[in-house]
Structure 1
Amino acid sequence: MTTALSQGLTLAWRSLIPLKNHPGQLFGLLFQPVFMIVIFVYLFGGAAGGDRAGAVAYMLPGVLVQVALMSTITTGMNLATDIGNGVFDRFRTMPIARSAPLAGRILADLLTLLITIVMSMVVGYAVGFRVTTGPLSALAGLGLVLLLAMALSWGSAWIGLVAKSVTSMQGMATAVLLPLTFGSSAFVPATDMPGWLSWWMGVNPVSHLAGALRGLLTGGPHASDVWITLGWTAALLALFAPLALRAYNRRVR
């Protein structure tokens, strides 16, 4: 187990090194939250109460959630690209654990996601967002986002391993994530929506993640949202981690 973790960390570092040679990708990691916050807070802020302070307090946690979940698509895209380039054929000949390449890829993407989250918090602070709970509560909220993103990354990895191409993988993952993120209460309260949409937003796991993060950052009831999010995380891991490992073994054997 320790050896597999060490190998996964080594491969994660291998996946991060190319960032220094691709400034455009690094630019996207750093400035994607800026664009998202400008769009949702300044252009659509009226939906959260009409004032900028209220919009920032409500929407910034939603922006963090959306950025985190949409970033999981890159896990499957990178895996599909590596398979097409024959990278995993070379891994197959190396004396490493079967799970190490997948774990390394997911860990690398979580580290880049952490950069994006930190940048989001910096931008949020610049536009007026304030954490009103405490540092431990805030860290718990951000950790919860990373946990669910990790679970979804295994799902993205599975799609990337079974998809015929990078384009098809991106299309399938986007078709799943867009209804989840935009059909949630991440940006608009469920009470403002029609009955059927309000019901969907109430059962949507993204709504619970956004509610948990909002409560952990700015206060308010959030315990049930935290437990529901942890339950979804465990369920997604139990489902997609074995599927991804099985698909990986089939692709590289």
Structure 2
Amino acid sequence: MSTAATREAEDLTFTAPKTESLAALLVARERPPRPSALAASVTFGWRAMLKIKHVPEQLFDVTAFPIMMVLMYTYLFGGALAGSVDAYIQFLLPGILVMSVVMITMYTGVAINTDIDKGVFDRFRTLPIWRPAPMVGYLLGDAVRYVMASVVMLTVGMIIGYRPEGGPMGVLLGVVLLLVFSFAFSWIWTMFGLMLRTEKSVMGVSMMVIFPLTFLSNVFVEPKTMPGWLQAFVNNSPVTHLATAVRELMAGNWPTADIAWTLGWAALFVVGFGAITMRLYNRR
């Protein structure tokens, strides 16, 4: 054997780690504790917020879009429906707030579908975490966006004449109820995000569901002006119950029936569509 070969063999022998040393190193270190369901969900929620940080254009739907909705519908319908903008904004703003926030919930499904297409969710499913954590994290991250949209719309409404008789507490209660419903309603779009193959399909199906629910409601006018067959649908719509509850809370009232209906619909969405979502997630 040549001198160079002998020296190379000695170097390899010298640098190769011993099996006993590796075993001792691995055994000596404790395995990190399994993260709790809350910790995992909050982590994924923070991930959703970081995506907004790197792509701030995603905030368009919670800033420019709400401003456009408030101004357009207020000045377009105010004089015709209520005689003046000041009178109509008192009725419209809580309803248009509900409509705008409910409409932007569909972007949860689009974001999930995009991550699935990129293969990110394959990595998530291999992690030793609570299984629904990625889904819940998305919804928690989007809840921040809903708060931003609510603040923007209420600010614009106050500037053009909205005055909630319930004061800050009534406004806060109305926004909290809206956030609870929106969190639950978003589970529908997580299901579509897992079920459909492209984000365009998710967007298309979401619009087909959201538009009838939001426009066929009491967001813009009282249902009593509608035909009887349409009133039957509108009066039992979850968006109608939510809009009425938010409107009354901000006016300083306590609409027990509409709050109960809203929370009941929210529970139904979480239990029903949440279960379907996790079934699809585990099988995908």
Q: Taking structure 1 as the reference length, what is the TM-score of the superposition? A: 0.94
The code of the aligned residue for 1:99 comes to P
Kindly provide the CA deviation profile for residues 104-155 of structure 1, in whole angstroms up to 9, marking residues without a partner as x.
0111111111111111111111111112113322211111111111111111
In the alignment, is residue 116 of structure 1 matched against residue 138 of structure 2?
no
CA gap of 1:2–1:216, structure 2 versus 1, over 3 A, is: farther
**1:160-171 equivalent positions in 2, closer than 5 A:** 160-171=193-204
Q: Which deviates the most, 73-82 or 234-243?
A: 234-243
In the alignment, is residue 37 of structure 1 matched against residue 65 of structure 2?
no
Kindly provide the CA deviation profile for residues 35-94 of structure 1, in whole angstroms up to 9, marking residues without a partner as x.
000111111223541211121111101111111111110111000000001111121222
Structure 1 or 2, whichever has the larger Rg, is 2
Give the match for residue 79 of structure 2: 46
* Structure 2 CA distance for aligned equivalents of residues 27 and 160 of structure 1: 21
Give the match for residue 130 of structure 2: 97
Q: Taking structure 2 as the reference length, what is the TM-score of the superposition? A: 0.84
TM-superposed CA distance for 1:27, in Å, is: 3.3
* Structure 2 CA distance for aligned equivalents of residues 145 and 46 of structure 1: 28
Asked whether the equivalents of residues 48 and 58 of structure 1 are also in contact (C-alpha less than 8 Å), the reply is no
The size of the alignment, in residue pairs, is 251
TM-superposed CA distance for 1:172, in Å, is: 1.1
Give the match for residue 246 of structure 1: 279
Percent of aligned pairs with the same amino acid: 39
Unaligned runs of 5+ in 1: none
In the alignment, is residue 176 of structure 1 matched against residue 244 of structure 2?
no
Choose which of 96, 108, 120 in structure 2 pairs with 1:87: 120
- CA RMSD, Structure 1 to Structure 2 (Å): 1.6
In the alignment, is residue 60 of structure 1 matched against residue 93 of structure 2?
yes
* Structure 2 CA distance for aligned equivalents of residues 30 and 101 of structure 1: 26
TM-superposed CA distance for 1:188, in Å, is: 1.1
TM-superposed CA distance for 1:220, in Å, is: 4.9
